[in-house]
């Protein structure tokens, strides 16, 4: 496994109690993550300043609470790759940041399709 350590546009700012605070190209999102099982104190003041927070529904799925108007989609870069970020109705953003290095290596060998020079998961 190779670590995706060349991010400039993506950062995990803090994690606690099932939630992840992330910066995606300067837009700060709070998303649930079932792998975050620890309950540590929140270390970032950005929790209260997040641009959007995803709330799970007890019936499945959930919805975004937009605290600030965000574009429908925006771009972030990893090395020379450009990814389209688009929050979905099921908490995802169209990109798994931990997979960026793998995507970079595949594309570098010419085996990854490009659509207008931008990469992203759509479905």
Q: What is the pLDDT of residues 71-93, one digit of tens each?
A: 999 999 988 889 999 999 889 99
Residue 2 lies inside a defined structural domain of this protein: no
- Residue 115: DSSP 8-state: B
Residue 3 lies inside a defined structural domain of this protein: no
Sheet (strand 74-78) strand order? 74-78, 81-85, 118-119
- Partnered with residue 77 across adjacent β-strands are 82
Note whether 16 and 40 are within 8 A (CB).
yes
Q: What is the value of pTM for the model shown?
A: 0.81
User: Distance between CA atoms of 109 and 38, rounded to whole angstroms?
Assistant: 39
User: Distance between CA atoms of 22 and 79, rounded to whole angstroms?
Assistant: 19
For residue 74, give its domain range: 10-119
Residue 43 lies inside a defined structural domain of this protein: yes
Span 83-109, mean pLDDT?
Answer: 84
Residue 1 lies inside a defined structural domain of this protein: no
Q: Taking 50 as the threshold, does the pLDDT of residue 103 lie above it? A: yes
Q: Taking 70 as the threshold, does the pLDDT of residue 3 lie above it? A: no
pLDDT at residue 118, as a whole number: 52
């Amino acid at each position: 496994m190779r670590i995706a350590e060349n991010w400039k546009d993506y950062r995990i700012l803090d994690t606690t109690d099932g939630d992840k605070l992330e910066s995606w190209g300067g837009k700060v999102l709070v998303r649930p993550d079932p792998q975050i099982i620890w309950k540590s104190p929140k270390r970032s003041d950005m929790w209260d300043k997040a641009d959007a927070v995803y709330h799970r529904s007890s019936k499945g799925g959930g919805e975004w609470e937009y605290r600030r108007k965000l574009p429908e989609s925006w771009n972030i870069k990893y090395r020379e790759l450009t990814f389209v970020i688009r929050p979905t109705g099921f908490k995802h953003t169209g990109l798994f940041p931990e997979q960026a290095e793998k995507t970079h290596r595949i594309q570098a060998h010419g085996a990854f399709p490009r659509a207008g020079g931008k990469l992203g998961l759509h479905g």
